[in-house]
Structure 1
Amino acid sequence: MQRRMTTEELLVSFDDAIKHGHIFAYYQPQFNHSTGRMTGAEALMRWVDPEAGMQYPSDFIPVLEENDLLYFADIQMVEMTCRFLRQCIDDDIPVIPISFNMSRNDIFKHEYVEDVENIRKKYDIPVKYLRVEITETSAIGGMELMSSVIGRFHELGYIVEMDDFGSGYSSLNILKDLDVDIIKLDLNFLNGNVSGRGGIIIRSVVQMAKWLRTPIIVEGVETIEQADFMKSIGCYYIQGYLYSKPLPEEEFLEKMSLAHHEPTKSPIDLLKTFNADNFWDPNSLETLIFNNFVGGAAVFSYNEGRLEFIRVNRKYIEEIGMNISERDFIESNPWKYFETDGKKLFIDTIKKAIDSAEEETCEVWMTLTSDCCGTDRMCIRYHLRVIGNAGDEYLIYSIISNITAEKKSYRDLYESERKFAFASEHTNTYAWEYTIATKEMRPCFRCMRDLGLPPLIRNYPEPVIESGLFQPDYAEMYREWHRQLAAGIGSLEAVMPLTAARIMFKVKYTTEFDENGVPVRAYGSATPLQ
């Protein structure tokens, strides 16, 4: 008999289930569809209660996770996997790598890496026979910790797989930031459909994996048509009911003993040349890469000074302000837009990205021309990362932002400050800027030079009143001014003595408001009376 247990029943019986082995591992093998050889397997959690029978993982795993119990079940899987491998090794049975699942709960509340390593050492299992599976969703919200955990597993020699790739919302962002060794793509997230858009997506994932030198294992393969399709696009490793359902230990042992084995290989040898034609279909990279990133994005190839854009998204064209199509941009000579110094800096940054294997950034000035917009000079910030290479040809992923306005604002600010400093020297005027919300005052150069004020004064005006710059008999009036500025008065003006010498100055304030009429800043000046 089989009956779905209630949450209370699951929790009450959990300890006994761990103790008496009611929670245990089934194993689903993985095969190379091209050779028919077994390449690995995945340990899958099962729970068979003595009275209620088999419980579905979709029913009990969320309950365990919500009650901080999943870690103990996951560790049980590691223990059983190592015990099984030890038995096989002792009996001289050839073994294959077996992967086990690591949940979000495991790493946030426990010393999971150390616990796994201790179990491996306990059974003396070579690390090459154990693989760790993480899910995309388990990394969201904890990227830094997950990256650290993966790094620790790598230091110990473990292979780390990303399971359920594509089932979440940030697949490429997660993959970009996590150094995984194998990608597991589940056909179930496409309902097993490899025709139409589904096939385009899968084909592009496989191509991307080749750039990343990362093998792909496809899960959920149920038909020969699915397996043949995957082989046709260069993905040979499959897991699913076509070859085998998840098996209890005894059946898996028999199947593993009879099968021929081979290792899972990196697709590095599959990428001999780079075929730009694969990128003309707007659905392929646009779906898998461009639409997953915010802003302008492009993929280009670089080979000893030769630059060729393979694909750009519309946001890229909009960012640089050109009224041309993506295809027209791709077919043009990309170097013609770069100024001489900018071209050299861009090439140096590409070489740096190749050497470091990290994202590198540069800012280059470019001159762009279009029929409708004429000629425009702009500054573009490039974020460059190598995503693949074939020999001396490198595939570069780029995200850009147009920072021309930012650069011009810096230049205008510098120029205005220079002119203001020049004018104030000749008019003998002291000036400052007051931020109303934070009560921060930033004085001009003459204020700092002549009056000894620091570049930033907090809780203004109290520090200058305490210093004696504003005289005690005018201090309360000056405080009242700042209360009026906060209340929204437009301007203030008065003659008052400043400094210990009580030199008479005309002191003025002018208020700046935001679009909602809220006072933001006030600009003050003090001019000595002749």
Structure 2
Amino acid sequence: MRMSREQIKNSLDQALKEEQFVIFIQPQYNHSNKALIGGEALVRWFHPENGMQSPADFIPVFEETGQIPRLDLYVFEQVCKYQKSCIERGDNCYPVSFNVSREDLQVPDYIDSMEKIRRQYDVPVSFLRVEITESSAVGSIEFIVDLVDRFHKLGYLVEMDDFGSGYSSLNVLKDLKVDIIKLDLKFFAGEVGGRGGIIISSVVNMAKWLNTPVIAEGVETKDQADYMLSIGCELIQGFYYSKPLPTEDYRKLSAQNIFQKSINPSKFIDNLDTGRFWNPESLETLIFSNFVGGAAILLYSRDGNGEILRINNKYLKEISMNLTEKDVLSNDPWKFFDDENKSIYQSTLNKAIQSKDEEECETWRTFVSGCCSPERLCILSSIQLIGIMENKYLFYIMIRNVTREKRIFNEIYASDQRFRAASEHSNIYAWEYEISTKKMRPCFRCMRDLGVPAVVENYPEPLIDAGIFPPDYAEMYRGWMKKLEDGVPHLEGIIPLTVGRIPFMIKYTTEFDKNGKPVKAYGSARLIEHGEQDAAGGKKNNV
């Protein structure tokens, strides 16, 4: 029988004395592996004459009459009793959350009374979680912040219940350092997806980047549970898994599970304060925006999807295509890549995930703006992993437009290829000799055909020792090196090379610095054709 408001108001003392109030516990699960992770304590009133009374009837009355702190403290003691019994029996002991209302927090010694009860039952604080409602923070945020800090100092985790049911959710989340958010699924209105789904997905991602796990409460269907898992919220509470259970039924359920800590926030590099990182007025943001080169923040998932979350002005200047920040942030980042360069870039992202170190790659991208024709640019990207959130990864990326350098390099490379092809046909070997250090750097044909290393120290001695220069020409060739050192601008002569004494025309041209000092000499060796040596006559050692 439903009791009247006056009956409820006047029955609290007797009901507490006779322990007519009992706690039920609603289980919480990790939907990804179906593991039990804890529960929430809910109060039920079994009146000896009028039967079970609905919390929706008696709790508002106790709140209005200022009696709710007495009931909440009673519930906290029942939770401690239950946890103590689990410890003494050796049962699995899962964390249980309990409600602390705005009215409770107005009582000066309420937290002291809680701690007295907890110590009396000797229950570790890790088995208890404080739940405050979002509405309790609205209008008194500084007061609530201080109380949350006090709970933290005592070792409690603090949950924000009914998040999303108030009007100041984002402000509360910004200011209040809660450990867990309990997301109210009233957005769904019986369905998943749609506008409510977009809002919930954004809240889940935002909360996790603030290192705050999310529990979805009020989950009633498999579709809802699966949808929450798909957007990164795996922790579930609601009728889909279980209604609130009497403590003995919950105890039996706990015995069937092995406790595993399933509430894991996202992980950031050790020296990154995520709050300051996203704060537009922080020093980190000031440096990001003004004192580094082109930079971006990229969110990337293992399924290959990516989203640019943030760029600085120098990023746009590096691209120099009259693109706006909106143009970059609103587009799929892969839009600018062809398949080959997208593969290179994603491979580098995956490499950075594995190495946890900075990785680099060069990729060609095609950019289009409203006022410019398409342009293909080569971008050098330095990629650093800064955060991990389940299957999503946050990267800090520095970029540099290296298109001009790349095109110059490609032109030089093409010219070198042409030179190589020409030299193949003309039987010419070439090298560079650094006079002061006596270092010689050979062409690819010298390395390929003669086995000359990429750098020859103390030239020409190693090549004389290897027999490339015959012993009877060794002193003559050493004399050439002395003449180059003395500043002779040009040398040429026919020398038989290798053990086969194959005749080559050897030529040197000397390069001088601005003071006229010889710094380098460029040498070449051209194979002498049949009969050419006789025609050369006295050119054996012309200077």
TM-score (norm 2): 0.52
C-alpha distance in 1 between matches for 2:16 and 2:171: 37
Report what 2:160 is aligned to. Answer: 162
Pair 1:94–1:191, CA change in 2 (3 A):
same
Corresponding letter in the other structure for 1:153? F
Corresponding letter in the other structure for 2:45? W
Report what 2:379 is aligned to. Answer: none
Pair 1:301–1:65, CA change in 2 (3 A):
farther
Report what 1:10 is aligned to. Answer: 8
Are the aligned partners of 1:308 and 1:330 in contact in 2 as well (CA < 8 Å)? no
Aligned positions, number:
308
Report what 1:186 is aligned to. Answer: 184
C-alpha distance in 2 between matches for 1:165 and 1:264: 20
Corresponding letter in the other structure for 1:156? L
**1:265-308 CA deviation, whole Å, 9 max, x = no partner?**
2231599xxxxxxxxxxxxxxxxx9xxx9xxxx99987965444
Report what 1:63 is aligned to. Answer: 61
Report what 1:115 is aligned to. Answer: 113
C-alpha distance in 1 between matches for 2:218 and 2:94: 20
- Residue 132 of structure 1 deviates from its aligned partner by 0.1
C-alpha distance in 1 between matches for 2:96 and 2:183: 17
C-alpha distance in 1 between matches for 2:396 and 2:168: 25
**1:229-271 CA deviation, whole Å, 9 max, x = no partner?**
1111121110011111001111111111122321132231599
Report what 1:247 is aligned to. Answer: 245
Give the fraction of aligned pairs with identical amino acids, expressed as a percent.
Answer: 48
- Residue 208 of structure 1 deviates from its aligned partner by 0.8
**1:457-509 CA deviation, whole Å, 9 max, x = no partner?**
xxxxxxxxxxxxxxxxxxxxxxxxxxxxxxxxxxxxxxxxxxxxxxxxxxxxx
Are the aligned partners of 1:28 and 1:43 in contact in 2 as well (CA < 8 Å)? yes
**1:377-419 CA deviation, whole Å, 9 max, x = no partner?**
xxxxxxxxxxx95699579xxxxxxxxxxxxxxxxxxxxxxxx
Pair 1:52–1:266, CA change in 2 (3 A):
same
> Which of 148, 173, 176 does residue 175 from structure 1 map onto?
173
Pair 1:223–1:300, CA change in 2 (3 A):
farther
> Which of 13, 34, 37 does residue 36 from structure 1 map onto?
34
Pair 1:6–1:389, CA change in 2 (3 A):
same
Corresponding letter in the other structure for 1:123? Y
> Which of 13, 19, 22 does residue 21 from structure 1 map onto?
19
C-alpha distance in 1 between matches for 2:294 and 2:43: 52
- Residue 72 of structure 1 deviates from its aligned partner by 0.4
Q: Does 2:236 match 1:238?
A: yes
- Residue 24 of structure 1 deviates from its aligned partner by 2.0
Matches for 1:479-494 after TM superposition, within 5 Å: none
**1:364-385 CA deviation, whole Å, 9 max, x = no partner?**
xxxxxxx9xxxxxxxxxxxxxx
- Residue 196 of structure 1 deviates from its aligned partner by 0.8
Pair 1:211–1:305, CA change in 2 (3 A):
farther
Are the aligned partners of 2:69 and 2:103 in contact in 1 as well (CA < 8 Å)? yes
Corresponding letter in the other structure for 2:9? L
C-alpha distance in 2 between matches for 1:97 and 1:394: 37
Are the aligned partners of 2:137 and 2:172 in contact in 1 as well (CA < 8 Å)? yes
Are the aligned partners of 2:94 and 2:127 in contact in 1 as well (CA < 8 Å)? yes
Q: In terms of mean alpha carbon deviation, does 261-270 or 166-175 score higher? A: 261-270
Are the aligned partners of 2:187 and 2:197 in contact in 1 as well (CA < 8 Å)? no
- Residue 93 of structure 1 deviates from its aligned partner by 0.4
C-alpha distance in 1 between matches for 2:44 and 2:286: 44
- Residue 218 of structure 1 deviates from its aligned partner by 0.6
Are the aligned partners of 1:40 and 1:96 in contact in 2 as well (CA < 8 Å)? yes
Pair 1:90–1:191, CA change in 2 (3 A):
same
- Residue 228 of structure 1 deviates from its aligned partner by 1.1
Q: Does 2:51 match 1:53?
A: yes
Are the aligned partners of 1:134 and 1:163 in contact in 2 as well (CA < 8 Å)? yes
Pair 1:225–1:301, CA change in 2 (3 A):
farther
Pair 1:227–1:301, CA change in 2 (3 A):
farther
Pair 1:5–1:159, CA change in 2 (3 A):
same
Report what 1:259 is aligned to. Answer: 257
- Residue 114 of structure 1 deviates from its aligned partner by 1.3
The 3-state SS of whatever aligns with 2:172 is: helix
Report what 2:489 is aligned to. Answer: none
Alignment RMSD: 3.4
- Residue 48 of structure 1 deviates from its aligned partner by 1.6
Q: Which structure is larger by alpha-carbon Rg, 1 or 2?
A: 2
Corresponding letter in the other structure for 2:224? Q
- Residue 110 of structure 1 deviates from its aligned partner by 3.5
- Residue 190 of structure 1 deviates from its aligned partner by 3.1
C-alpha distance in 2 between matches for 1:135 and 1:162: 5
C-alpha distance in 1 between matches for 2:80 and 2:330: 56
- Residue 191 of structure 1 deviates from its aligned partner by 2.1
Pair 1:300–1:202, CA change in 2 (3 A):
farther
Matches for 1:222-371 after TM superposition, within 5 Å: 222-269=220-267, 305-308=293-296, 327-328=326-327
C-alpha distance in 1 between matches for 2:163 and 2:286: 22
Pair 1:169–1:392, CA change in 2 (3 A):
closer
C-alpha distance in 2 between matches for 1:330 and 1:301: 16
- Residue 86 of structure 1 deviates from its aligned partner by 0.3
Pair 1:250–1:304, CA change in 2 (3 A):
farther
Corresponding letter in the other structure for 1:102? V
Report what 1:153 is aligned to. Answer: 151
C-alpha distance in 1 between matches for 2:265 and 2:96: 20
Corresponding letter in the other structure for 1:204? S
Are the aligned partners of 1:39 and 1:264 in contact in 2 as well (CA < 8 Å)? yes
Gaps of 5+ in 1: 272-288, 313-323, 333-370, 372-387, 396-530
C-alpha distance in 1 between matches for 2:226 and 2:88: 37
TM-score (norm 1): 0.53
The 3-state SS of whatever aligns with 1:48 is: strand
Corresponding letter in the other structure for 2:326? R
Pair 1:300–1:174, CA change in 2 (3 A):
farther
Matches for 1:74-85 after TM superposition, within 5 Å: 74-85=72-83
- Residue 188 of structure 1 deviates from its aligned partner by 2.7
Matches for 1:380-395 after TM superposition, within 5 Å: 389=387, 393=395
C-alpha distance in 2 between matches for 1:300 and 1:32: 39
The 3-state SS of whatever aligns with 1:267 is: coil
> Which of 215, 218, 223 does residue 217 from structure 1 map onto?
215
Are the aligned partners of 2:266 and 2:387 in contact in 1 as well (CA < 8 Å)? no
Corresponding letter in the other structure for 2:87? I
